[in-house]
Amino acid sequence: MADTVMVRDPLSGGVAVRRLDDAGRLDRAVVIDAVVGRLLCPGAPVELVRLHDRLDLSLDESAACAGAYARLVPAGPVEAASLAVAQLWRLEEAGLLGEELFAGVLRALASRPERKLLRDALSWAGDAVLRDAGRADAVLEAMALIFGQDTVALQERAVRLAVSLAPQAGPAGREAVLRAAAALPLELREKVATVFGR
């Protein structure tokens, strides 16, 4: 019953739900499922993001929601998408996010128009490829999407990361970068051409 109150009115129900959860009087799995499920619905209140944060999910609990988080990234409101990215990022750091899901989420994130989410994409991509150089092509494909964004500072960061990954680039990553480089300003296009060719 308390999880229903929480989902309908997270402002008044959120604190109560957290207290009941702390006291062990709620089924956490039901509460988490209700919160994440409601975040996937159009018009979900921003307060649900804060409630989700208050629940302080374990890695296992977060991993159980990975598919739902991945669905939030391409089209969820900025606050919900940012929450989803944070959860997926921590799963990836812990080795609990599959490579295919990682690549798809990173591409979706790099396609968002919001600068905050694009900065998240750049930071996560750089961290992830340091942990596993085998992700170079997935990261390059995401950077190629950021080449098409209209903010030079973001394009510059994407080019720097792409250039640093040129030695690890496979055919798919190389092709994505070369195809997308046409959208870059001349100076950045030249930097790409120097290491990737034309």
Q: Which domain holds residue 136?
A: 98-198
Assess whether 5 and 91 both reside in one domain: yes
Query: How confident is residue 64, by pLDDT bands cut at 50, 70 and 90?
Result: very high
Do 93 and 122 reside in the same domain of the chain?
no
- List Cβ<8 Å contacts ≥24 apart for 115-122: 115/151, 115/154, 116/78, 116/82, 117/78, 117/81, 117/82, 117/85, 118/146, 118/149, 118/151, 118/154, 119/154, 120/82, 120/85, 120/89, 121/146, 122/146, 122/154, 122/157, 122/158, 122/161
Are residue 66 and residue 154 in the same domain, yes or no? no
Looking at the fold, whether 165 and 88 belong to one and the same domain comes out as: no
Indicate whether 62 and 10 sit together in one domain. yes
- Mean pLDDT calculated for residue range 38-53: 91
User: Is 102 in the same domain as 88?
Assistant: no
Residue 46 sits in the same domain as residue 15: yes
Q: Decide which of 97, 112, 136 is a domain's last residue.
A: 97
- Per-residue pLDDT tens over the stretch 47-58: 999 999 999 999
- Of 77, 97, 117, which one is at a domain's C-terminal end? 97
Query: What mean pLDDT is predicted for residues 171-177?
Result: 97
pTM over 0.75: yes
pLDDT computed for residue 26 by the predictor: 78
pLDDT at position 21: 63
How far is 124 from 30, CA to CA, in rounded Å? 30
The Cα-based distances of 91 to 15, 85, 146 in angstroms read 26, 10, 23
Quick check: 98 pLDDT over 60?
A: yes
Average pLDDT over residues 134-144: 97
Q: Are residues 48 and 92 in the same domain?
A: yes
**C-alpha–C-alpha distance, residues 58 and 24, integer Å:** 15
Does 71 share its domain with 24?
Answer: yes
Q: For 106-130, give one letter per residue: b (16+ CB within 10 A) or e.
A: bbbbbbbeeeebbebbbebbbebbe
Last residue of a domain, one of 65, 97, 129: 97
186 shares a domain with 150: yes
Residues 102 and 192 in one domain: yes
The number of domains in the chain is 2
Is residue 5 predicted with pLDDT exceeding 90? no
DSSP 151: -
> Mean pLDDT score of the chain, rounded to an integer?
90
